[in-house]
Amino acid sequence: MRHAKALIVLIVLLTVVVAACNKNKPPVARPMPPPDPGVSSTVTDPPPPPPQPVMEPTIVPPMPAEDAIGSKSLDDLNRDSPLRPLFFELDSSDVSAAGQQVLQANAAVLKKYPGMQVTIEGHCDERGTAEYNLALGERRALAAKNYLVSLGISADKVKTVSYGKEFPFDAGHDDSAWANNRRAHFVITAK
Amino acid sequence: MHNYFVRWKALAAAMVAASAVAAAQQPAPQEKPQTAVELILRDSSGAQTRLAVPDLLALSPDRETTEAARTIGQVLWDDLNYEREFYMIPRDTYKSIPAAPSITTVPYDRWRELGADGVVIGTVQKVATGIRVELRLYNVRAQQSIFGREYTGSAANPRLYAHTMSDELHESQRSLRGVARTKLTFSSDRNREPVVGTVEKREVKEVYVADYDGANARRITINRTLNITPSWSPDGRSIAYTSYRTGVPDILISNIYAGTMETPSKGSGQNWLPVFSPDGKRIAFTSNRDGNPELYVMNRDGSDVRRLTNNPEIDTSPTFSPSGTQIAFASGRSGTPQVYVIGVDGAGLRRISQESYADRPTWSPAPYNEIAFTARTGPGFDIKILNIGTGETRQITFGEGTNESPAWSPNGRHLAFSSTRAGRLQIFTVDRDGRNLRQITREGNNQTPHWSQ
């Protein structure tokens, strides 16, 4: 009995230590951990997972509760954003089927929170030139915005900006880094 | 009130930046004309003329003078070597030749032994206003001074005396406009400052200027955001660039010696990649103001905006022809980015590149009728040059790192570009024949160079 108690205490302690260790990781804004698969079963209409992006959640997270968005600061909201990025093929600004799913989910969030304003950042990978990427990133952001507008989102809630390849999300030089950097990224500017 | 504050802050920032440059900018050395007849030094056999530049003689014993004497000799040798008009005899081979006791007593026999056709002998002397620098080019065989200059000015930047002498010597001896006094502008993250107001970890990029050889680098912008693709005005007094100061890309012009700033596009859409026309009166740029990246031209003050392109794909990266009548640019209208040429009146569109991906054309100064550009050659990019007359393309870099954003020197003999060949992104220069590669920047990442005209 005593032993069992001690064991439980030890396990609890270990869990706390592990949790603490996780907390010590450097604070990085963008990578979001995939949501707990247990939670996903509550989603009634799960869209197919987007093809490649490894670092992105494969399942639309349940809509955050009203107060979760209301109480969070903009910085916190953007750190763990209810709006997901969409990804593009090399040299392309075409919104893929997976990208459309992402935009539909984002549009639902925007409709739920009518005060929300966003800037869509267009980003490119290093396989394009610095100059041309400024235009390509703008086209990616515009493509995402136009699709949102077609879903009934008011155009004046959505701004666009291109960063070309100036602010890569992944500093690597391989396929997965490039795929991760070819994106339209949502930043909430008002809620 | 808010607007007022922002404007005041921007003005103050610009003024601080300008005064930093102004402080670095010393008055140009004053020159006394020589009375001696100037002759041309040229090897009669047609071989390259061999020149030596030993340390200058310090006529005053103080540290400033002796250091200036050493610096000027080394920098002058480098400047002359850069244009490859003379064979520059390596300086360590004539360390044993004793310094001339005066500028007129030259040990000709020793220089002749070394195989020098010419030798530049110079002196530096401390004077009330700074230093006096005297330099003479001697014909070793004829044992006579054939070219000389005397300068007085500040001792703050001795390199400027060497640069001035180099340019004047090239002009006199080879009718060549050297680049020793030209400058490069580029964008750099070397300050490693975080961008204001984002959740992501992003570092600012600011505009810098440096001498053509990378010395005397100075920061021009203090916007704490992205400031990229700087471009010189033809008079070298202003730099137009793409700044995200307001959160979206727009064109700013910094008048770097006056300490003022201009915002020519005044809130019409997002605008980027400005370049001045050869007369400095017009600016070509890319804008999304009509819903898609298209090319526009406007007056420097933002008036008389004209749209040059109109198609659903991207049009960007403009560069003026030397006469200012045509613009080369990159367009995705064929499915991949390619280089096109169009008249400034919008007429005469034609495609000139046949690459898998071509961007950032830059039109060479006369007399060369060529366009350098960035071409995708594999996973990365290389610099290529297209001769417009013959239609032939030659490659300048060959897959070492990725190489982008070429910019011509004002005499058309050199290109600056960015490259990852040394690890991080750095500015390099290379001659039009692909030789004489030099690394210009070493601190942080540096990109999108442009050469003062």
Position B14 in a domain: no
Q: Which residues pair with B326 in a beta bridge?
A: B343
Q: pLDDT digits over B303-343, tens only?
A: 999 999 999 999 999 999 999 999 999 999 999 999 999 99
Domain interval for residue B323: 183-451
Mean pLDDT across A94-119: 96
Q: Are residues B164 and B201 in the same domain?
A: no
Query: Tell me, what's the pLDDT at B259?
Result: 92
Query: Tell me, what's the pLDDT at B34?
Result: 47
Query: Tell me, what's the pLDDT at A77?
Result: 87
CB distance B405–A130 less than 8 Å?
A: yes
For residue A137, the chain B residue with the least C-alpha distance is B293
Q: Are residues B231 and B321 in the same domain?
A: yes
pLDDT band at A49 (very low <50, low <70, confident <90, very high): low
Mean pLDDT across B433-437: 96
Lowest pLDDT segment from A14-23, B115-124, B228-237: A14-23
ipTM of the complex: 0.89
Q: Which residue has the higher pLDDT, B200 or B369?
A: B369
Q: Which residue has the higher pLDDT, B267 or A41?
A: B267
A51-190 placed in CATH 3.40.640.10:
no
Position B24 in a domain: no
Domain end point (choices B174, B193, B210):
B174
As a whole-number percent, the residues of chain B with pLDDT over 90 amount to 83
Domain end point (choices B174, B208, B240):
B174
Examine residue B367 and say whether the peptide bond preceding it is cis (omega within 30 degrees of 0): yes
Query: Tell me, what's the pLDDT at B350?
Result: 97
For residue A168, give how far its alpha carbon lies from the nearest alpha carbon of chain B (Å). 9
Q: Check CB contact of A67 with chain B, cutoff 8 Å.
A: no
Which backbone phi and psi does A115 adopt, to 5 degrees?
-85, -10
For chain A, give every domain's residue range.
51-190
3-class SS of residue A187: strand
Q: Which residue has the higher pLDDT, A10 or B170?
A: B170
Q: Check CB contact of A90 with chain B, cutoff 8 Å.
A: no
Domain end point (choices B139, B174, B209):
B174
Say which CATH number the domain at B313 has.
2.120.10.30
For residue B16, give how far its alpha carbon lies from the nearest alpha carbon of chain A (Å). 26
Residue B361 has pLDDT above 80, yes or no: yes
d(CA B405, CA B277) in angstroms, rounded, equals: 18
Q: Using a CB-CB distance cutoff of 8 angstroms, which residues of chain B are in contact with residue A131?
A: 229, 273, 316-317, 330, 359-360, 374, 405, 448
Q: Are residues B396 and B274 in the same domain?
A: yes
Q: Are residues B369 and B313 in the same domain?
A: yes
CB distance A167–B316 less than 8 Å?
A: no
CB distance A132–B337 less than 8 Å?
A: yes
Q: Check CB contact of A28 with chain B, cutoff 8 Å.
A: yes
Tokens representing residue B167 in the block:
């340019």
Total structural domains in chain B?
2
d(CA A44, CA A33) in angstroms, rounded, equals: 21
Which pTM does this prediction carry?
Answer: 0.83
d(CA B103, CA B39) in angstroms, rounded, equals: 18
Selecting from B272, B381, B447 the residue whose C-beta is nearest the C-beta of A134 gives B272
Q: Are residues B214 and B76 in the same domain?
A: no
pLDDT band at A156 (very low <50, low <70, confident <90, very high): very high
Q: Are residues B146 and B196 in the same domain?
A: no
A33-63 per-residue burial string, b: 16 or more CB within 10 A, e: under 16: eeeeeeebeeeeeeeeebeebeebeebbbee
Tell me how far CA of residue A79 lies from CA of A30, B2, B98, in angstroms: 6, 28, 69
Query: Tell me, what's the pLDDT at B300?
Result: 97
Give a three-class secondary structure readout of B134-148: EEEEEECCCCEEEEE
Say which CATH number the domain at B90 has.
3.40.50.10070
Lowest pLDDT segment from A160-169, B28-37, B423-432: B28-37
Query: Tell me, what's the pLDDT at A7?
Result: 53
The residues, ordered by sequence, that sit 6+ positions from A45 with a Cβ below 8 Å of its Cβ are: none
Query: Tell me, what's the pLDDT at B199?
Result: 60
pLDDT band at A115 (very low <50, low <70, confident <90, very high): very high
